[in-house]
Amino acid sequence: MNQVVEKALRGMALLKVSNIRHWTDRTFSFSCERPQGFRFRSGEFVMIGLMVEGKPLVRAYSIASPSWDDALEFYSIKVQDGPLTSKLQHLGAGDEIVMRPKSVGTLVHDALVPGKRLFLFSTGTGIAPFASLIREPESYERFDQVILTHTCREVAELAYGYDLVDRIRGDEMLDEMVGEKLMHIATTTREESPHMGRMTDWIRDGRLARETGAPLDPATDRIMICGSMAMLQEHKAICEALGFVEGSNSEPGQFVIEKAFVD
Ligand code: A2P
């Protein structure tokens, strides 16, 4: 590698991409090699991107694969005029992305105190950190039930989540680990489907309680939230009104939030 490129990369890893799948005209997923010695906690994010005009252009991306996996998986939005995703969406097998091999984030088990039910509320590509967490053994060791909700505008956008659950069910070891503990609730807001509406409305009007057997309760439930800023704010307000206390890595609590990658 020449010295100019080496300097521009400064601690970044160059990783070969594989398994690119375009789910809709708004989303796609891909895998890449995992750098040797790179460790992360399921639910965390890293900075990834591309070399553009000799410089790394990176954004925060949740790692969608679990911490034990050999490959790293990412689920991304496509924004036609987005500085990174307008280019990233054209990745082909064998192309390279750059990654800063240092992960961070609050959607991790360390930021939650123990509980019985774990709720993972997501919209759009906000499902990515939960794709990691629902394949993480610790989720099932720490909780009796893991409830993943995924809300999108249209039916086609739910495909990544359905495929994820199918992949778990199709893998003998994962299926055994998950057993009956995982519940997947997928809803749409702008196209007809069996389950419709925002999860914030489901919480307020009792539909979530009916579907899961009991209303949200800070005594037993822990919550992780990932989506747009508006979605986070609304879920956070609901949590706080119900008496849930926000957690962090240094002070675990009863709910945690993180913004999904957007441009
Ligand atoms: P809606 O269609 O009613 O706006 P987006 O693509 O805008 O990020 O939206 C993804 C999903 O998140 C959509 O289904 C959208 O519903 C939903 N959503 C947007 N804002 C909120 C919010 N404040 N609370 C809950 N869900 C939301």
Backbone angles phi, psi at 205, to 5 degrees: -95, 5
Task: Tell me what the mean pLDDT of segment 79-95 comes to.
Answer: 93
Band (5; pLDDT cuts 50, 70, 90): low
Pick from 139, 141, 160: nearest CA to 151: 160
Task: Tell me what the mean pLDDT of segment 203-227 comes to.
Answer: 98
Give the residue whose CA is nearest to atom 1 of ligand 1. Answer: 189
- Whether the pLDDT of residue 201 is over 70: the answer is yes
For residue 231, report the distance from its CA to the centre of ligand 1, in Å. 6
The pLDDT assigned to 10 comes to 78
Give the residue whose CA is nearest to atom 8 of ligand 1. Answer: 228
For residue 153, report the distance from its CA to the centre of ligand 1, in Å. 7
Residue that is written with structure tokens 């990745």 in the block: 91
Band (2; pLDDT cuts 50, 70, 90): low
The pLDDT assigned to 262 comes to 65
Backbone angles phi, psi at 226, to 5 degrees: -145, 125
The pLDDT assigned to 8 comes to 67
The tens digit of pLDDT for each residue in 138-155 reads 999 999 999 999 999 999
Residue-wise burial string across 236-256, b where 16 or more C-beta atoms lie within 10 A, e elsewhere: bebbeebebebbeeeebbbbb
Residue that is written with structure tokens 């991790």 in the block: 108
Percentage of the chain modeled with pLDDT above 90: 93
Give dist(CA 255, CA 245) in Å, integer: 6
Give the residue whose CA is nearest to atom 24 of ligand 1. Answer: 231
Atom of ligand 1 nearest to the CA of 199: 25
The tens digit of pLDDT for each residue in 230-253 reads 999 999 999 999 999 999 999 999
For residue 260, report the distance from its CA to the centre of ligand 1, in Å. 12
Band (163; pLDDT cuts 50, 70, 90): very high
Pairing between strand 182-188 and 145-152? parallel
Any residues with Cβ below 6 Å from ligand 1, and which?
123-124, 151-153, 189-190, 198, 200, 227-228, 230-231, 234
The pLDDT assigned to 1 comes to 59
Atom of ligand 1 nearest to the CA of 227: 8
Percentage of the chain modeled with pLDDT above 70: 96
Atom of ligand 1 nearest to the CA of 200: 25
Instruction: Tell me the CA distances in angstroms from 71 to 19, 130, 164, one per residue in order.
Output: 10, 16, 15
The tens digit of pLDDT for each residue in 39-53 reads 999 999 999 999 999
Band (34; pLDDT cuts 50, 70, 90): very high
pTM score, two decimals? Answer: 0.96
Burial class (CB in 10 A: 0-12, 13-18, 19+), 190: exposed
Give the residue whose CA is nearest to atom 19 of ligand 1. Answer: 231
Mean pLDDT of the chain: 95
Atom of ligand 1 nearest to the CA of 188: 14
Mutate to test the pocket of ligand 1, among 26, 123, 152, 238 (most ligand atoms within 8 A of CB): 123
The pLDDT assigned to 9 comes to 73
For residue 195, report the distance from its CA to the centre of ligand 1, in Å. 15
For residue 151, report the distance from its CA to the centre of ligand 1, in Å. 7
